[in-house]
Chain A
Amino acid sequence: MSKLPYEVQTEPVTPLSILSPDGEIVDEALMPELTDEQLKEIMYRMVFTRTWDERAVNLGRQGRLGFYAPVSGQEASMIGSEYALNKDDFICPGYRDMPQIVWHGLPLYQAFLYSRGHQHGGQIPEDVHVLMPQIIIGAQILHATGVAMAFKKKGEKRVAITYTGDGGSSEGDFYEGMNFAGAFKLPVIYVVQNNGYAITTPYAKQTGALSVAHKAVAAGIRGVQVDGMDVLAVIKAVQEAAERGRNGEGATLIEMLTYRFRPHSMADDTTKYRTKDEEAEWSLKDPITRFAKFLEKKGLWTDEDTARVKEEAKATVNEHIKKAEQTEKMTVSGLIDSMFEHTPAHMEAQKADFQ
């Protein structure tokens, strides 16, 4: 049957790609402006985060960390998107997005405390503009929308950024947040890290939409798709979205096509739903090896650099896990006192049972 003239038409999108899997620049014109020092810093952060992830999985097995959602494979989408922000931009992360808020300024030992279930993990330093990770998938999308409205009202040149996964794009709050941003033209960036799976459910079972990026159309905001294993493409897309936000041009949905090399969480068995072939195919796209090849060709990076960063990361992780373990224990009366600005009388009385 032929297409009716009043039928909404959609075409597949082509993801923004700057760096080929061999580390070649595909499109020089799209290249974000970055100095050699900045390129090395981005590499440093990606290698550091990969090592931290490996250590965190082991610390989890040893019982020294609690809840932990692995990030290996998503370094480009996570590190690149944070790197493209200003320090006073505000991040509303999902539960997997610890690297972004740590690189935005949250001390690593506090990230570990969050994992261990300690309140101090959420006591974000005053000059760090992030929320703690959001467990309710979709809620962070609304918070970023409200934060962005505040920036707009105050006339501040700041943007809010928030992250969810492909599964999260099925939530009502995902649509409501984007739709509010469309209606109010807010400076906010919605990042969907599409790693193909929501726990065990593949993307194809979330939606019939051609891409998550297409969903921007429903909210009247800009939608783009990016190769999420390409850190330069990620930086380019976020820089552009942030600039548009700061200039009053409204919100952007960025879908980043990525992959997690590890399970969804420490309690997940990937062999039930993924094949070895699929994993092997994606490992060829590893964002770190790809970017390393690019930097090596430019004479900016060597294997020794990688080895050095790994050692540094291990030492830092060790230092911070110790600091986390040495943090004073919480008390029930302390919890009671942190519920309200002024503790009501009936809760004051409840403290007596715990002293």
Chain B
Amino acid sequence: MAQMTMIQAIRDAMRVELERDPETLVFGEDVGKNGGVFRATEGLQEMYGEERVFDTPLAESGIGGLAVGLGLQGYRPIAEIQFFGFVLEVMDSIVNQASRMRFRSGGRFHSPITFRSPFGGGVKTPENHADSFEGYMLQTPGVKVVIPSNPYDAKGLLSSAIRDNDPVIFLEHLKLYRSIRTEVPEEAYTIPLGQANVVREGGDVTIVTYGAMVHVSLQAADEILKMKGIKAEVIDLRTISPIDIETIAASIQKTNRAIVVQEAQRTSGVAAEVIAQINEKALLHLEAPVIRVAPPDTVYPFAAVEDEWLPTPSFVVDAIIQVLEF
């Protein structure tokens, strides 16, 4: 075991998978010699050579299409999109091509691709860097979408994503890259995709969340416990597509109340889908409507006003009080 940041854990997952499967390739803008703009691929080209870890021209669509083509010939591409705000340049390769390859060929071809990309607010990035565009991916049949919240999960989930024989979108929150250290095994391990994790147990209210909002929610859970003795259960979705509704429904059976916390704008992201599935699976256990904690439906804010725009623990506390007092 070693103490690792999330960026180190992500790098370690790629190291382990490059070692394990010679068909695995890592490529993108500045991922080679430079080791990535966030050091996520640091040293990998030195260890595995330019044939396995390489830089590409600056063209996201080209990167996505390259991954699809390499996937057709037996390679296992890990393609990096430098910031997920740039995904719109490569939407066709993800949404029309990789996601549909198995389906449209009746299983003859598939796309064992992992698209890695950083996103997320709180670090004052310039425009088009921090946007939470995971909702677009959620609405794409044929892809899985993973968003880890800590180093241990990041490594295990990324290994699973890479080994998955269908496309996985792996989104890495910028604020979490270096803000937490946890124990991470140096050997390979996997965490199944599609399984949420109860990161804090409690019997009074369920908080469903993912990404950086897991930590905001945990702080809120501390505060509400101190303030009112309320015990909140916090569920980290980890995979946002498919959603692990069983874990959420089981929690609500116990707590009878739930909120969903996300960094994406109110009508974007995952919250609406979580609430719809709760209605289908756990309505009769609810004592109050499920409400969302999410930023307003503006464009992602200017850096100078980011901290006021993003959900804070006090927003979450207010929402908990609202569902408790309903």
B56 pairs with A340, CB closer than 8 A: no
CB contacts under 8 Å to A, within B285-313, are none
Complex CA gap A283/B62 in Å reads: 38
Given contacts A143-B72, A341-B165, contact A173 B108 (CB under 8 A): no
Some 5 contacts from A to B, beta carbons below 8 A apart, are: A119-B104, A139-B65, A176-B59, A335-B103, A338-B106
Find chain A residues with CB under 8 A from B73 CB: 90, 146-147, 150-151, 154
Mark each residue of chain B from 67 to 101: 1 if its CB lies under 8 Å from any CB of chain A, else 0: 11111111100000000000000001100110000
Task: Identify the 8 closest CB pairs spanning chains A and B, nearest first.
Answer: A146-B69, A142-B65, A150-B73, A176-B62, A123-B106, A146-B66, A147-B69, A143-B69
Find chain A residues with CB under 8 A from B242 CB: 344-347
Q: Which residue of B lies closest to A119 (CB)?
A: B106
The interface of chain B, by Cβ under 8 A from chain A, is: 51, 56-57, 59, 61-62, 64-75, 92-93, 96-97, 102-110, 141-142, 164-166, 194, 242-243, 245-246
Complex CA gap A314/B61 in Å reads: 42
Mark each residue of chain A from 329 to 355: 1 if its CB lies under 8 Å from any CB of chain B, else 0: 000000100111100111100000000
Complex CA gap A137/B291 in Å reads: 43
CB contacts under 8 Å to B, within A128-150, are 131-132, 136, 139, 141-150
Among B66, B104, B108, B245, find the residue whose CB has the most chain A CB atoms closer than 10 A.
B66
The interface of chain A, by Cβ under 8 A from chain B, is: 90, 92, 119-120, 122-124, 126, 131-132, 136, 139, 141-151, 153-154, 160, 172-173, 176-177, 179-180, 183, 335, 338-341, 344-347
Among A120, A144, A146, A339, find the residue whose CB has the most chain B CB atoms closer than 10 A.
A146
Given contacts A179-B57, A179-B59, contact A338 B72 (CB under 8 A): no
Q: Which residue of B lies closest to A176 (CB)?
A: B62
- Smallest beta-carbon distance A9→chain B, Å: 25
- Smallest beta-carbon distance B194→chain A, Å: 6
A146 pairs with B67, CB closer than 8 A: yes
Given contacts A150-B69, A339-B141, contact A132 B102 (CB under 8 A): no
Find chain B residues with CB under 8 A from A154 CB: 73
A146 pairs with B70, CB closer than 8 A: yes
Q: Which residue of B lies closest to A162 (CB)?
A: B69
Sample of 11 more A-B contacts, CB < 8 Å, known A139-B97, A341-B110, A345-B242: A119-B103, A132-B104, A139-B93, A139-B96, A142-B64, A142-B68, A142-B93, A150-B69, A150-B73, A180-B57, A345-B194
Contact of B70 among A119, A132, A149, A346 (CB under 8 A): A149
Q: Which residue of B lies closest to A182 (CB)?
A: B57
Given contacts A146-B71, A340-B142, contact A123 B65 (CB under 8 A): no
Among B73, B102, B103, B109, find the residue whose CB has the most chain A CB atoms closer than 10 A.
B73
B104 pairs with A122, CB closer than 8 A: yes
Among B56, B74, B75, B106, find the residue whose CB has the most chain A CB atoms closer than 10 A.
B106
Contact of B69 among A124, A132, A144, A176 (CB under 8 A): A144
Find chain A residues with CB under 8 A from B103 CB: 119, 335, 338-339
Complex CA gap A154/B23 in Å reads: 10
Complex CA gap A183/B69 in Å reads: 16
A340 pairs with B92, CB closer than 8 A: no
Find chain A residues with CB under 8 A from B62 CB: 142, 145, 173, 176-177, 179-180
- Smallest beta-carbon distance A184→chain B, Å: 9
- Smallest beta-carbon distance A201→chain B, Å: 21
Given contacts A146-B65, A146-B67, contact A139 B51 (CB under 8 A): no
- Smallest beta-carbon distance A251→chain B, Å: 13
Q: Which residue of A lies closest to B51 (CB)?
A: A153
- Smallest beta-carbon distance A298→chain B, Å: 41
Find chain A residues with CB under 8 A from B59 CB: 176, 179-180
Given contacts A153-B51, A346-B242, contact A122 B108 (CB under 8 A): yes
Contact of B57 among A149, A160, A183, A345 (CB under 8 A): A183
A148 pairs with B245, CB closer than 8 A: no
- Smallest beta-carbon distance A189→chain B, Å: 14
